[in-house]
């Protein structure tokens, strides 16, 4: 029909890195200075839901997030749209009987199921859902690897939200970025008792965006060069091994060290960037205190902080009472965030 509306919906989960992406070697293509690795959080708990539609009646490309209109004129969003349209165009050229969707404008509607006030990084789930919703709408036959390559151009960390479980983003070697993609380290089922709790230290918007922060760090921090060239490559190997062996002690030590190393690079930036606040530091001390009660001080919880003050604490289900219980008793209901079902957050299994 002439005015037919085409539509597709999808979900994408949030991921929280345990080896951080910080720094671009190519800011146009969103290519990282180092590899990174994350845990995908369950989409029952934290996710973006996105519907993409198109018809001849849609006047212009648009995106709303939680009912607020978003600017999509930026180069990164445009790169995703351009690439997806080109793939659809290729299909239409091969099969002229297909409806001409590539020429139509897109209406994209997104919703996060977690409070925006929680100040959680949402660009990863956001771009992963956007790319997948459009790929579904266009009925593209693309692999998760292809999707991760496209989502990466929207937001680096988004490439890791295309897969479930324990996910790495390889740095890649090629100048065109075609090998800078995500891959599965282990499925969620490999280590199903991993849990996370999120402690909201401030609901305010971060003061230095990740894009600006990365640029300043790359330009001015000598510590960062060392991190990208020496520290992270070794740590990636050790972290993959820890996950393969379900070795929580190594996982925890690496996670905490990498968060601290990333924030040390921020501090080493000119002018210095402070993402952690006093509440963040209190959360670190709390983790240290819990870990110090254990035999041989073997860690049972691990904190990590992104480009903001909120802590994500990883632990195993068997230590739920001690870890989540201690934090909940201290922070109370108002400043924490737990899963929809009143449990703490699990690892998501499926791939988009």
Binding site for ligand PMV (CB under 6 A): 17, 20-22, 36, 121, 123-124, 155-157, 210-211, 306-307
Contacts with 189 (C-beta within 8 Å, 6 or more apart), sequence order? 165, 349
Closest CB to ligand PMV among 41 and 104? 41
Closest CB to ligand PMV among 252 and 307? 307
Nearest 5°: the CA angle 286, 21, 197 is 30
Least distance between ligand PMV and beta carbon 136 (Å) = 22
Least distance between ligand PMV and beta carbon 97 (Å) = 39
Least distance between ligand PMV and beta carbon 18 (Å) = 9
Least distance between ligand PMV and beta carbon 104 (Å) = 29
Distance between the two ends of the chain, CA-based, in angstroms? 31
Closest CB to ligand PMV among 211 and 349? 211
Nearest 5°: the CA angle 109, 182, 117 is 40
Q: Compute the distance between CA of residue 351 and CA of residue 154 in angstroms, rounded to an integer.
A: 19
Q: Compute the distance between CA of residue 349 and CA of residue 352 in angstroms, rounded to an integer.
A: 10
Closest CB to ligand PMV among 55 and 269? 269
Least distance between ligand PMV and beta carbon 318 (Å) = 27
Q: Compute the distance between CA of residue 79 and CA of residue 85 in angstroms, rounded to an integer.
A: 10
Closest CB to ligand PMV among 264 and 322? 264
Least distance between ligand PMV and beta carbon 348 (Å) = 16
Closest CB to ligand PMV among 35 and 87? 35
* Residue whose C-alpha is closest to residue 275's, from 286, 283, 264: 264
Least distance between ligand PMV and beta carbon 12 (Å) = 13
Least distance between ligand PMV and beta carbon 307 (Å) = 4
Do 146 and 175 touch, CB atoms closer than 8 A?
no
């Amino acid at each position: 029909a002439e005015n037919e509306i085409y539509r597709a919906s999808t979900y994408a989960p949030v991921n929280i890195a345990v080896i951080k992406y910080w720094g671009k070697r190519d800011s146009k293509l969103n290519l990282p200075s180092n590899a990174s690795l994350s845990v995908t959080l369950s989409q029952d708990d934290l996710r973006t839901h996105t519907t993409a539609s198109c018809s001849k009646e849609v006047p212009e490309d648009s995106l709303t997030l939680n009912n607020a209109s978003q600017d999509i004129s930026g180069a990164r969003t445009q790169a995703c749209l351009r690439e997806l349209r080109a793939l659809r165009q290729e299909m239409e050229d091969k099969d002229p009987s297909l409806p001409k969707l590539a020429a139509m404008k897109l209406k994209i509607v997104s919703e996060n199921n977690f409070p925006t006030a929680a100040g959680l990084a949402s660009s990863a789930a956001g771009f992963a859902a956007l790319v997948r919703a459009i790929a579904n709408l266009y009925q593209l036959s693309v692999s998760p690897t292809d999707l991760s390559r496209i989502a990466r151009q929207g937001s680096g960390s988004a490439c890791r939200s295309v897969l479930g479980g324990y996910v790495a983003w390889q740095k890649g070697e090629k100048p065109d970025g075609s090998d800078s993609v995500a891959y599965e380290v282990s499925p969620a089922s490999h280590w199903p008792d991993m849990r996370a709790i999120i402690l909201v230290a401030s609901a305010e918007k971060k003061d230095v965006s990740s894009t600006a922060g990365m640029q300043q760090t790359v330009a001015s921090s000598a510590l960062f060069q060392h991190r990208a060239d020496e520290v992270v490559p070794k740590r990636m190997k050790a972290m993959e091994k820890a996950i393969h062996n379900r070795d929580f002690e190594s996982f925890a030590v690496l996670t905490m060290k990498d968060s601290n190393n990333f924030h040390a690079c921020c501090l080493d930036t000119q002018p210095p960037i402070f993402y952690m606040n006093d509440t963040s530091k209190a959360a670190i001390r709390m983790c240290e205190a819990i870990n110090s009660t254990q035999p041989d001080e073997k860690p049972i919880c691990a904190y990590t902080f992104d480009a903001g003050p909120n802590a994500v604490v990883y632990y195993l289900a068997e230590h739920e009472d001690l870890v989540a219980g201690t934090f909940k008793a201290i922070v109370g209901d108002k400043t924490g965030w737990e899963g929809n079902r009143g449990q703490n957050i699990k690892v998501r299994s499926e791939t988009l």
